[in-house]
């Protein structure tokens, strides 16, 4: 496993649509492991393959720090409600913005064994799913920000 470089806003790979994964190869398995390691190293709650320069429909999410989700070829089946809150992105370091998204999502995706499953998420998990799935279609959260992007304030005890 290895920590990969996270592509930042302005890198054109972040604006491209990703291709579906047809099978789990050793390279895809290594990519998933590297994405998880990279996400944890960067203290993120989600990471999409294009953020590490790979145009594949793969997302990793962990909103609890101990329950990683791997979503391959995810598709949104259902949404409802609304939530508005701060959002940031590992590809837009040091910035945050207010974004409104659905509060509930139901998706269908494949796991690392290419087994189809469904997942429901609310609140932070729903926000993370929408945010990461946007990456797969070449969209960054900054396109949805209400108002201006703001500098992310880091608590003094973390500096």
Name the residues annotated as catalytic.
Answer: 132
Which single residue is written with the structure tokens 């945050």? 96
Which single residue is written with the structure tokens 């590992």? 90
Report d(CA 141, CA 158) in Å as an integer: 25
Q: Which residues, in sequence order, are bridge partners of residue 118?
A: 108
Give yes or no for a contact between 44 and 68, defined as CB atoms under 8 angstroms apart.
no
Report d(CA 134, CA 6) in Å as an integer: 16
Phi and psi torsions of 131, nearest 5°: -60, -50
Run of H or E residues at 120: strand 116-122
Tell me the torsion sign for CA atoms 83, 79, 67, 34: negative
User: The tokens of 124 are what?
Assistant: 């932070």
């Amino acid at each position: 496993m290895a920590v990969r470089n996270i592509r930042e806003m302005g890198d054109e790979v972040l604006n491209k649509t990703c291709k579906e994964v047809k099978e789990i190869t050793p390279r895809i398995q290594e990519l998933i492991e590297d994405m998880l390691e990279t996400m944890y190293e960067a203290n993120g709650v989600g990471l999409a393959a294009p953020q590490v320069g790979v145009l594949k429909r793969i997302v990793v999410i962990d909103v609890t720090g101990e329950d990683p989700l791997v979503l391959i070829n995810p598709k949104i089946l259902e949404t409802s409600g609304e939530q508005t809150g701060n959002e940031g992105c590992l590809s837009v370091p040091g910035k945050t913005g207010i974004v409104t998204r659905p509060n509930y999502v139901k998706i269908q995706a494949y796991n690392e064994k290419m087994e189809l499953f469904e997942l429901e998420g609310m609140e932070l998990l729903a926000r993370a799913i929408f945010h990461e799935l946007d990456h797969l279609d070449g969209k960054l959260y900054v396109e949805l920000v209400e108002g201006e992007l703001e500098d992310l304030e880091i608590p003094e005890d973390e500096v």
